[in-house]
Amino acid sequence: MADFNYNHLRYFWAVAREGHLGRAAKRLNLTQSALSVQIRRLEERLGQKLFDRVGRGLMLTEAGRIALDHADVIFATGDDLTATLRESGRSRQILRVGAQATLSRNFQIAFLRPVMGRDDVELVLRSGTTADLLRGLAAHHLDVVLTNHPPGPEGEKTLLTHKLAEQPVSLVGSDRIMGSERRLAELLRRHPVILPTLHTGLRSDVDALVDRLGIELQIAAEVDDMAMMRLLVREGIGLAVLPPIVIKDELEQGLLIEGAELPGVVERFYAITIERRFRNPLLKAVMPDGAGGA
């Protein structure tokens, strides 16, 4: 791209970071109309619209988000070259991942492992509520959202749901509480339990199993955060209903023990992507089916 004008790209970079044409023009000591012309020329050169106007501000389009990723790399590399006079021009790719705040950290690490530690990959990780993360996905701030429940029928029609895994669920606890007992019905009768909150798919499955067994549970706590559930079970307030992957470290260290598996009860993990013209190629490395939002 010998005739590519990098001044146009720098002007775009400034506007994208400010999110406002007027503020960027003031910082660059240009008129708004002159800056607008530069952005338009870059859009014509790329053949893509880079911004949508929202109120008084500007929002990056999908193509704009990709252009910003490349601009970040280009100008960071230029700064390194100027400052250190050493080779640092290897192209880096960025993968932006949002994860439901209550999702197992061990599962997230397993998902990201194919690209972790790669010199050519930068990971941007964000946690939050599923609703907030899906809004970030729609606004092209994220490439994929990890969750343990798929979006409902009211979700965006452009959302694509990929089931990543099903993990068995067990009763887990400390050796002090559980002792030598490993039979599910006896464990549920004798000990208080830490359960997922109501109105979740996992809790519905657990409640259905308990009804079939004809057992009245002693509920120690209802928790929607797996990290908090880990802490509570380590404190010994009861047995927890958890996928073993969530407490993999504690099981390996002998801090917790897996008692009985809950038959028919599984924790499901999903990746949510969105229909896009420009797919992030890194998704092929982390998605089992290589779908990547096709």
pLDDT tens figures, 60-86: 898 888 888 888 777 766 654 454 444
Q: Are 50 and 66 members of one domain?
A: yes
The pLDDT tens digits for 202-249 are 888 899 999 999 999 999 999 888 788 888 988 889 999 988 888 888
Calculate mean pLDDT across residues 52-56.
81
Q: Are 150 and 213 members of one domain?
A: no
CATH number at residue 222: 3.40.190.10
Q: Are 148 and 282 members of one domain?
A: yes
**Pick from 34, 55, 84: which residue ends a domain?**
84
Contacts of 225 (CB under 8 A, 6+ apart): 101, 102
Residue 105 in this model has a pLDDT that exceeds 80:
yes
**Pick from 19, 50, 84: which residue ends a domain?**
84
Q: Are 194 and 217 members of one domain?
A: yes
pLDDT score at 78: 62
Residue 294 in this model has a pLDDT that exceeds 80:
no
Q: Are 71 and 11 members of one domain?
A: yes
Indicate whether 112 belongs to any domain: yes
Tell me which of 74-78, 160-164, 186-190 is least confident: 74-78
Indicate whether 50 belongs to any domain: yes
Half-sphere exposure of 124 (CA within 13 A, CB side): 11
Give the pTM. Answer: 0.64
Q: Are 47 and 189 members of one domain?
A: no
**Pick from 84, 114, 132: which residue ends a domain?**
84
pLDDT score at 84: 43
Q: Are 158 and 229 members of one domain?
A: no
Indicate whether 144 belongs to any domain: yes
Indicate whether 294 belongs to any domain: no
The pLDDT tens digits for 120-134 are 888 999 998 888 899
Q: Are 160 and 137 members of one domain?
A: yes
pLDDT score at 185: 92
Q: Are 144 and 178 members of one domain?
A: no
Beta carbons of 100 and 73 less than 8 angstroms apart? no
Indicate whether 216 belongs to any domain: yes
Calculate mean pLDDT across residues 181-197.
90
Q: Are 144 and 97 members of one domain?
A: yes
Q: Are 261 and 174 members of one domain?
A: yes
Residues spanned by the domain of 132: 93-165+270-286
Indicate whether 44 belongs to any domain: yes
Report the number of distinct structural domains present in the chain.
3
pLDDT score at 219: 93
**DSSP secondary structure letters along the chain:** -TT--HHHHHHHHHHHHHT-HHHHHHHHT--HHHHHHHHHHHHHHHTS--EEEETTEEEE-HHHHHHHHHHHHHHHHHHHHHHH-S------EEEEEEEETTS-HHHHHHHHTTTTT-TTEEEEEEEE-HHHHHHHHHTTS-SEEEESS---TTS-TTEEEEEEEEEEEEEEE-HHHHTT---HHHHHHHS-EEEEPTTSHHHHHHHHHHHHHT----EEEEES-HHHHHHHHHHTSSEEEE-GGGGHHHHHHTSSEEEEEEEEEEEEEEEEEE--SS--TTHHHHSTT--TT-
